[in-house]
Amino acid sequence: GNSVTQMEGPVTLSEEAFLTINCTYTATGYPSLFWYVQYPGEGLQLLLKATKADDKGSNKGFEATYRKETTSFHLEKGSVQVSDSAVYFCALSTSGGGADGLTFGKGTHLIIQP
């Protein structure tokens, strides 16, 4: 079956530090890959996505590249801010456009200290 593994949290960084949150997946076929973010007290929001190998998704300074050879979709940001503190979820969908239900990782809690 499909599965997503992401690094355990919490991850604590200082403001302006470089961020990497690792995500690897197992899936049949060619999945679409997503990063969702959940800010304190809010619902899940799509942060970025990539639908085929070597695609790079980007949004709000975050980026992730779909690496088929390593089955990975690591999230990166060059300089984090306190407002980036949230829980980040890596997810996949095996339908062509991602319209099927998502398989999520366990989430990584990110804490940015001023």
Partner 1 sequence: EAGVAQSPRYKIIEKRQSVAFWCNPISGHATLYWYQQILGQGPKLLIQFQNNGVVDDSQLPKDRFSAERLKGVDSTLKIQPAKLEDSAVYLCASSLGPEQYFGPGTRLTVT
> Residue 64: which of 3, 4, 2 has the closest Cα?
4
3 CB contacts (<8 Å, ≥6 apart)?
25, 26, 27, 103
Report if residue 101 touches partner 1, rule: CB under 8 A: yes
Report if residue 98 touches partner 1, rule: CB under 8 A: yes
Measure the CA–CA gap between 11 and 110, rounded to whole angstroms: 5
Binding-site member from 24, 44, 85, 94 for partner 1 (CB under 8 A): 44
Report if residue 99 touches partner 1, rule: CB under 8 A: yes
**Window 66-95: residues binding partner 1 (CB under 8 A):** 89, 91, 93
Binding-site member from 4, 21, 75, 92 for partner 1 (CB under 8 A): 4
Q: Choose the stretch contacting partner 1; rule: CB under 8 A; options: 15-23, 38-46, 64-72, 75-83.
A: 38-46
CA geometry: angle 84, 78, 25, nearest 5 deg? 75
Write out the residues near partner 1 by the rule CB under 8 A: 4, 32, 36, 42-46, 49, 51, 89, 91, 93, 97-107
